[in-house]
Amino acid sequence: MSATFDGLLKVLCEACQQHYGPRLVALAVYGSVGRGTPRSTSDMDVVLVVDSLPNGRIARVEEFAEVDRMMAAPLAAARAHGVETEVSPVFKTPAELAAGSPLLLDMTEDARILVDRGELAQALNALRARLAAQGARRVVRGNAWFWDLKPDYRPGDTFTL
């Protein structure tokens, strides 16, 4: 199954590079596919960092429609082999990436960077360093987890990531 996901990610990389061209700053997969533990029904959770994205989620999804079209045949082939997956994109501009997002917390642990001009790796490394400085940790309980961002937190304390 991992080979099927790896093949789909290769096609996705090529499709994104073709569609966005030099505007594509970074592309990473996270979640179960990023961790290398996908199930046959796992989505391919990806974050795309792209220069000059249109404003609003709908406009960004509409712009991504060409990539969806390029992925249609490979996804159909994967379904024929029992892998029922879809691409679930999150879109960020470089400025939005630099501003931070709770999404990046889990990406410090399980993202696999597929394309990067350096901005995504830099953002994740900087966040990892800030988390380490605060003693933050991801606490796993069964199949779920949560972040303890400041283990020595006391009521009234403030902190920033």
Confidence (pLDDT) at 160: 84
Range 64-85 average pLDDT: 97
Is 0.75 topped by the overall pTM? yes
How, if at all, do strands 112-116 and 137-141 pair? unpaired
Evaluated on CA atoms 120, 124, 114, 117, the torsion sign reads: positive
Range 115-136 average pLDDT: 96
* pLDDT of 21 above 90: yes
Question: Burial, 7: exposed, middle or buried (Cβ in 10 Å; 0-12, 13-18, 19+)?
Answer: middle
* pLDDT of 1 above 90: no
Averaged pLDDT of the chain: 95
* pLDDT of 143 above 90: no
Range 92-103 average pLDDT: 95
